[in-house]
Amino acid sequence: MMEIPPRASALVCIQTYRKNQRFILVLFHSNGNANTNLSLLTDRVFAADETTSQLYNGIAKPLVVSTVEGYNGTIFAYGQTSSGKTFTMMGTSRTPGVIPQAVEDVFQSIKNFPKKEFLLRVSYMEIYNETVTDLLVDSWKRKPLEVREQINVG
Ligand SMILES: Nc1ncnc2c1ncn2[C@@H]1O[C@H](COP(=O)(O)OP(=O)(O)OP(=O)(O)O)[C@@H](O)[C@H]1O
């Protein structure tokens, strides 16, 4: 179980695509309190016949929409190779994944605040083994990003 501050919520869903293969989509929604203690909690398990849209609308969309209201949100997929992380996060032109649907919803949600100004920034990084790479840099210029640590905050 988990301990979370009152204005934060976390949600972990497990998607089963292939038998014996699991990946976990973790959604984390907080008021920015870095001390949140999150241990594993499963709120939902999606079966193989449930679509990415069902998964997105069921659990990711509320978090995406609330980021426009000022909450922090994280969605990440974790699982063994070929378990369906890319399929779920990126999708295809016929079945868009979590990322394109989230981008669409961010722009739609902004329209609900015509008097506010928003700044949207995007970064796109790969973490492979211990190496972090910026995928928005031309491939011939790419070099691993430095991972910096601070004594107090890690
Ligand atoms: N829900 C799904 N429905 C249909 N096909 C799927 C589904 N999930 C994954 N696949 C297919 O399974 C294959 C492996 O999926 P995917 O590439 O998303 O795995 P991955 O977890 O990102 O793997 P890796 O860690 O090796 O990058 C792909 O061909 C993908 O199209």
Q: What pLDDT is stored for residue 53 in this prediction? A: 92
How far apart are alpha carbons 50 and 56 in whole angstroms?
A: 10
Q: What pLDDT is stored for residue 109 in this prediction? A: 94
Q: What pLDDT is stored for residue 37 in this prediction? A: 44
Ligand 1 binding site (Cβ under 6 Å of any ligand atom):
17, 79, 81-87
All domains in the chain, ordered by first residue: 10-29+44-145 (3.40.850.10)
Q: What pLDDT is stored for residue 39 in this prediction? A: 45
Nearest CA to ligand 1 atom 3: 17
85 marked as part of a ligand binding site: yes
79 marked as part of a ligand binding site: yes
Nearest CA to ligand 1 atom 14: 82
DSSP 14: E
Which ligand 1 atom is at minimum distance from the Cα of 48?
1
DSSP string across 78-113: EESTTSSHHHHHTB-SSSB-HHHHHHHHHHHHHTT-
What is the CA(10)–ligand 1 centre distance, in A? 25
User: Rounded to two decimals, what is the model's pTM?
Assistant: 0.78
Residue bearing the bigger pLDDT, 37 or 152? 152
Residue 3 has pLDDT above 80, yes or no: no
144 Cα distance to chain centroid: 22
Residue bearing the bigger pLDDT, 151 or 30? 151
Residue 96 has pLDDT above 50, yes or no: yes
Show the tokens assigned to 105. Answer: 């919803």
Nearest CA to ligand 1 atom 24: 81
86 marked as part of a ligand binding site: yes
Using alpha carbons, select from 108, 106, 107, 101 the residue that is nearest to residue 54. Answer: 101
How far apart are alpha carbons 15 and 12 in whole angstroms?
A: 10
Q: What pLDDT is stored for residue 137 in this prediction? A: 93
For 32-88, the pLDDT digits (tens) are 444 444 444 566 777 777 889 988 998 889 888 988 888 888 888 887 788 888 888
Which ligand 1 atom is at minimum distance from the Cα of 77?
21
For 97-128, the pLDDT digits (tens) are 999 999 999 999 999 999 999 999 899 888 88
